[in-house]
Amino acid sequence: MSRKVSMKDIAKIAGVSPSTVSRVINKPSEVSEGLRKKVMKIIKELNYTPNSVAQGLRKGSMKVIGVVIPDITNPFFPAIVRGIEDFLRKKGYSLVLCNSDQDMEEEKKLLKFLYSKNVDGVIFTGSGEYNPEIEIFTSRNIPLVFLDRIYKKESSSYVIVDNVDGMFKLMTYLVKCGYKSFALLNGYKETFSAKARYEGFLKAVKKYNIKNYEVVFGRFTYESGYEMVEKLSKIPEVLVCGNDLIAYGVINKIEKLGLSIPDDVGVTGFDDIAFSKHYKPSLTTVRQPMYQIGKKAAELLFKMIELEKYKPKGIVLNPELVIRESTKKIEMEV
């Protein structure tokens, strides 16, 4: 097993000092053409690449960022991660992926882990609560971007989607469709998204003076959607779901009850994950720009890392109403 070739090796073979080799690589203009070519040739021949760990030590940055998400297996996240990676790799950064399962203790461990790995920055989607471990980064001025979450406590950057408005837009549409009775089947109550969607729902209830509605909380899963239908005191004209997964479960249960969608009842989702356009019926939902969320977060983080005095910034992205087959066609103007 041959040791990796180092700068010294190149230097020795070329008969120059290591610093010259370094310059050939980093500031070619500062070394004469003859030497440069000679050294370059040897570098090519030996297939030399600088040891980035040594570089990292010397320069104080490994060009690595940490990404903490609840679970890559949740269809909401892959596109976000992709957005982050596409942007950051172009800048020479690599991305360390961590799944926290929304567990506070696990999050703490991961944060410590990333800190000890000397990452240059972190993109973080946490559980609902504020994780004090965050401060090991903020207190040392290591940039941090929150995804899909805001903590007023910190003056960090964040990228969120206006869930309240998304839900409100959806409700406005449903009202226009002529639906009169509603149920909100939501995810876990303590969650940022569940809260915001609930808020948007309530806003619409008030604005459009909806009398006939019901709200139930569960989890953001297929199974939970299925179950939540059973908890309803009666089946309303339209079932507004906290996310697409819930909607799938709801659709299944509703059809099992012998009701047809959208003729008997309407069902809506939230997120517009990849399958929602292929589901049967295809799902009326609110699209979150996942790839954009990731990309924007990466961009923000990058600026905070590389620009001396870049100030933390919050970005609010707008969700988009996607109308498909699971709701009836619009019948009147409000």
Contact residues: DNA, CB under 7 A: 3-4, 6-8, 15-20, 22-23, 25-26, 30-32, 34-35, 48, 50-51, 53-55, 57-60
Quick check: 292 binds a copy of itself (CB under 8 A)? no
Q: Which partner, DNA, a copy of itself, none, binds residue 35 by CB below 5 to 8 Å per kind? A: DNA
Q: Which partner, DNA, a copy of itself, none, binds residue 221 by CB below 5 to 8 Å per kind? A: none
Q: How far is CA 62 from the centre of its chain?
A: 23
Residue with tokens 């004090």: 132
**By C-beta, is 53 or 307 nearer to DNA?**
53
Task: Provide, rounded to whole angstroms, the least separation between the CB of residue 79 and a copy of itself.
Answer: 6
Inter-CA distances, 277 with 65, 280, 284, 322, 324, Å: 33, 8, 9, 9, 8
SS3 190: coil
How many chain residues are in contact with a copy of itself, going by CB under 8 A? 52
Q: Which residues contact 226 (CB under 8 A, 6 or more apart)?
A: 249, 250, 252, 253
The string of DSSP letters for 144-158 reads EEEES---TTS--EE
**By C-beta, is 57 or 330 nearer to DNA?**
57
Q: Which partner, a copy of itself, DNA, none, binds residue 2 by CB below 5 to 8 Å per kind? A: a copy of itself
Inter-CA distances, 150 with 116, 119, 219, 231, Å: 25, 22, 21, 32
Joined tokens for residue 284: 């009326």
Query: 117-156: which residues touch a copy of itself (CB under 8 A)?
Result: 117-118, 136, 140-141
Query: 61-80: which residues touch a copy of itself (CB under 8 A)?
Result: 62, 64, 71-73, 75, 77-79
**By C-beta, is 139 or 209 nearer to a copy of itself?**
139
